Structure 1
């Protein structure tokens, strides 16, 4: 769309990632005009440096494992090596196709003006890009996140790298240390182990993926031990030194670990520096933009969505927040987003998926005596046996009340989280889910079996 002379819009959005472009698309559906400002590529972290490329690598890793293990299925095949140039070509092809599709969708929309360049908030209702000002009746801050490091830890892009560097690595390292046992850390550790790398995870917290239910964390740790992925939990990082062959990392207690490279996977920080937010009076906390439950900042008609808002840093959270804000601005008064109701998936091998409250959080919220749990072992599920995967579906419910948490671990359980989030968000009782028919043989049956058992009428499980 050509820019109008006055460059005034219903909404000016600063950032074209998941939250920003979702805001734009929903806003124009509701008859609003939009200026979408992006300094790099539309699609943001998720498309170019996060969800999509990492999952492409994880799929390649799954193929490597399947080839290596094919004989147990009666297929004779041999893994002769990992061609990183070809793996990266496959990954980049996926990104390119999705990027072209997104570009086409946004650029063909006559109500969206795409502004390329570095934007800065210069007034509560104005974003400046390369000397030109774009005024919005409303402004949405959606500037995303960046790969964090730690104080005193210098990332050189060669021996000490972030996930951004790891995604374009042109070789398979012989060994790697992963600093951080959260989602990013365990996913890269999983990929590299499948590619034949000697991997060690270092995590300051007492367990891997510490935000997940403790039973899921412990199950993942058991699976990683079986896969010979080394990890050291409860071990804060102290320093890193360069060696002739790579790096040496010192952790609490003076213990050292050496490897070819160090991946710094300590999370993502809000990309809000030098964008004019604080100068315009936007309330911040450690770089994050503070909002109320309707995603309004303290400045009238200025909203914030995505990774810069405290909470889960997930693309689908950004999408939902973008849709919410567009509808809010259009006067539709959408329902407030329940953060606990946002599904969470970690795509390592085995996968973790969850929605709702952990057992610990549920006990804290409702009282320990009010919470009941049930674990259905995937060993009793036919499709899981076919896939040769281990794991479980764990339900957390309030006594005589709804299911308030679903936690799963096993191959491909991320594909089951859709029903799980419906169960949580619709406040379903075990008996209500038990009435639903789940196709056989599928892993989806495990959800049905768990609810049958929790409702007191188990079929293939013990109550």
Structure 2
């Protein structure tokens, strides 16, 4: 449906065209509801245009660069890297983003979703005013899906050149020779990995005592080891005291865990210290809504993702934990809300069974509880681990890594944690294992292909089930 005449009333009105918003719109339209989707920028949101897709395209290019080094140094392939044509790399990245953007817009048009470009403001529990368009009433409900933006530091404004955020780091001019990455969560680690692959000297600073601090401690340990092996200067338990933007770079003062102050100089400072929900100008108060102290819109009913105002639902980065701020979680939330508005009774999102992935080198992937989290929740825990180097394909890759399984004693699997090459493509099996409350013996009776990295997953479960083949229990 094209935007040819103004709509004044619809079944569902979605504010925000990112992953959570457009998935809601597509599913609601498929269920026969009339849908208006309001987006002030481009449908696809941060994930498609500034985050997930362009960054993973660049990380794939980085993997190719790393492969040249491995070919020469490990396999005797006399290959050399002449240079990185930044403009060609960017053109390929942008083509990938454009193809996906056209795909999303095509899906919305085919589904009959009316896409309106403009800023939306709530005027009440069922009304929205769209700038340059007019007012639209929603019979069944309104879905808030306005996403998030990078958190910035007081007194250190991003200029897109010397100080950048994850939203603009990919679009800064050229490749820096050195970069200071502030923040050791998934985003910071990915950007540190990318820049190192492209030849930059990288310093990675994280205030917590370990990288990816929300993941299992063994994941952090293996990831840190892998990054340090690649030459990344990892500094955990460290805090940025101040940073000065110079004509040719940035000078930062960093406090170490021992209380010492160290100076770090780099061409570029990349701030990756989290994201904050976007609610500016949304008019929440007019609809009887407010945010929590961190700016999130909190559902009154998590099973329906419905706010305290009946008929207004929320998806994506506007949600506080246990929502994960991940695109694939937003897809699930969009499906849930659309089906709820259509009168169905979908199962609530099981956030414990949503995979979490860091696309660095090495990669990390996890689903379910960490060992510490399981113990804190009162579970009697057993743990099984398997180094990737203990299976043949792991020695082929030669990058280390591990599989760690956390399970109840004589009970179900609570969490699976992976570190190593391509583990992002291996976690789906473990999602089903955790999501379906499988026990180690349930998994152990299924055969994994040889030789693959996934064998290490099978071996870990075999060992926990008392049937260890290449390792002892």
Q: TM-score, normalised by structure 1?
A: 0.97
Match of 1:290 in 2: 298
Aligned partner (choices 167, 170, 173) of residue 170 of structure 1 = 173
Structure 1 window deviating more from structure 2 (1-10 vs 280-289): it is 1-10
Query: SS of the residue aligned with 2:209?
Result: coil
1:189: Cα distance to partner? 0.4
- For the aligned residue pairs, the C-alpha RMSD in angstroms reads 1.3
Residue 445 to residue 126, structure 1, CA distance change in 2 (3 Å) = same
2:372 is the alignment partner of 1:360: yes
CA distance in 2, matches of 1:349, 1:30: 41
Query: SS of the residue aligned with 2:336?
Result: helix
Match of 1:113 in 2: 114
State how 1:52-71 maps to structure 2 within 5 Å: 52-71=53-72
Match of 1:237 in 2: 240
Unaligned ranges ≥5, structure 1: none
Query: SS of the residue aligned with 1:164?
Result: coil
Match of 2:387 in 1: 377
2:265 is the alignment partner of 1:258: yes
Query: SS of the residue aligned with 1:353?
Result: strand
What is the number of equivalent residue pairs in this alignment?
Answer: 460
Deviations 1:204-224 (A, max 9, x none): 111111111001001111111
Check whether the contact 1:177–1:259 (CA below 8 A) recurs between aligned residues: yes
Aligned partner (choices 205, 223, 227) of residue 226 of structure 2 = 223
Structure 1 window deviating more from structure 2 (397-406 vs 74-83): it is 74-83
Structure 1 window deviating more from structure 2 (2-11 vs 419-428): it is 2-11
Match of 2:352 in 1: 340
Check whether the contact 1:379–1:391 (CA below 8 A) recurs between aligned residues: yes
CA distance in 2, matches of 1:124, 1:150: 35
Deviations 1:98-119 (A, max 9, x none): 1111111112222x11111111
Check whether the contact 1:366–1:398 (CA below 8 A) recurs between aligned residues: no
CA distance in 1, matches of 2:4, 2:296: 31
Query: SS of the residue aligned with 1:135?
Result: strand
2:330 is the alignment partner of 1:318: yes
Query: SS of the residue aligned with 1:433?
Result: helix
Aligned partner (choices 207, 210, 214) of residue 210 of structure 2 = 207
Check whether the contact 1:303–1:325 (CA below 8 A) recurs between aligned residues: yes
CA distance in 2, matches of 1:184, 1:461: 35
Residue 330 to residue 379, structure 1, CA distance change in 2 (3 Å) = same
Match of 2:97 in 1: 95
Unaligned ranges ≥5, structure 2: none
1:7: Cα distance to partner? 1.9
Match of 2:31 in 1: 30
Deviations 1:216-247 (A, max 9, x none): 00111111111110021111222111234311
